[in-house]
Amino acid sequence: MSKGWIRIWRVAKFLDCSTDYVRDLVNSGELTGVKIGTKGLRVSQESLDTFLINNQVTGLDTNEKN
């Protein structure tokens, strides 16, 4: 059973990215979305959780020189 659906602006705010990027993630299949009406889009909480788990990064060197 799904945990719920989140508006894309909330997902974008949580991920600190644009709503266009969230739409791209839905279009690419990395996030599961559902269209509501003509402009509305919701993202599955379950797919967001999976996306975060699958994209975890460890050992980043924040002092890396450019």
Q: Name the residue range of residue 12's domain.
A: 5-53
The answer to whether residue 19 is domain-embedded is yes
Q: What is the pLDDT of residues 5-40, one digit of tens each?
A: 999 999 999 999 999 999 999 999 999 999 999 889
pLDDT score of 6? 96
Total number of domains constituting the chain: 1
The answer to whether residue 63 is domain-embedded is no
| Cα angle 57-63-66, degrees, rounded to a multiple of 5 | 100
Distances (CA, A) of 4 to 10, 22, 26: 13, 17, 16
The answer to whether residue 62 is domain-embedded is no
Question: Whole-prediction pTM value?
Answer: 0.79
